[in-house]
Homo-oligomer: A and B are copies of this chain.
Amino acid sequence: MKTEIRARIETGEWPVNHRIPSENELVDTLGVSRMTANRALRELANEGVITRVQGKGSFVAPKKRSALALGVRNIADEILERGAVHRMDLILAQAETCGHELAAALELDIGAQSFHSVIVHNEDDVPIQLEDRFVNPAVAPDYLKQDFSRTTPNAFLTSIAPIAKTEQFIEAVLPQPWECKLLAIARSEPCILIRRRTWSQDRVVTAVRLLYPGSRYRLQSNF
């Protein structure tokens, strides 16, 4: 119900400022009760997908501008722009069963399958990002078949599933022992940790932890 409306908006079937069927119309056409239609539209409004005006109707909201310097960038592009050489070391790529936390992060059922990849990104042979990623198989069934020495997970995923929403947290943490090994840093070196989830058409595409050594990387945003 809610996802059907969102799909119509993301596919462009209902363009910006298009008038969305009223709650009563949705009751008739979709065969749901008004409370259900109301809840769906109310939640879409809270997410900023639509705007609602009492007495007038509901309308597709203009897309939020996004991705300043802190947006979702491909680390490979970043490195190449600096004129350096980018190399990926594939540490792990396998299917795994969702535990409690992972299931919640990917919005899947506990016990469902997920794809797990761990990759170290090097800039001029210096480890600069540890990418620990879980992928929703329903969105990217061929994920594990990719050649991760050539295509970044980011590039592959954005090519098959346009990003509709991003949730991102930035923290400062101390690395775990195994992370220190992979990044070739000391245990006492503070790191930037970015935890990011991306959605496409109301499904979680991927949940990723990006770990950067504090001495080798910083985030920049100018506006």
Name A residues whose Cβ lies closer than 8 Å to a Cβ of B: 35, 39, 46, 64, 66-71, 165-174, 188, 190-192, 212, 214, 218-223
Contact = CB atoms under 8 A, between A and B. Distances in A.
Contact of A170 (B166, B169, B188, B218): B218
A14 B66 CA distance: 34
B173 A219 contact: no
A126 to B, nearest CB: 17
A69 B168 contact: yes
A222 to B, nearest CB: 5
Contact of A223 (B64, B169, B172, B220): B64
Contact of A222 (B68, B166, B172, B214): B166
A222 B64 CA distance: 10
A192 B193 CA distance: 10
Contacts of A214: 171-173, 190
Given A214-B172, A218-B171, A223 B190 contact: no
A170 B167 contact: no
Contacts of A220: 167-170
A210 to B, nearest CB: 12
Contact of A169 (B39, B173, B174, B218): B218
A215 B92 CA distance: 29
Contacts of A192: 170-172, 192
19 contacts: A35-B35, A66-B169, A66-B223, A68-B70, A69-B168, A70-B221, A168-B221, A168-B222, A169-B218, A169-B219, A170-B170, A170-B219, A171-B214, A171-B219, A172-B191, A172-B212, A174-B190, A190-B190, A190-B191
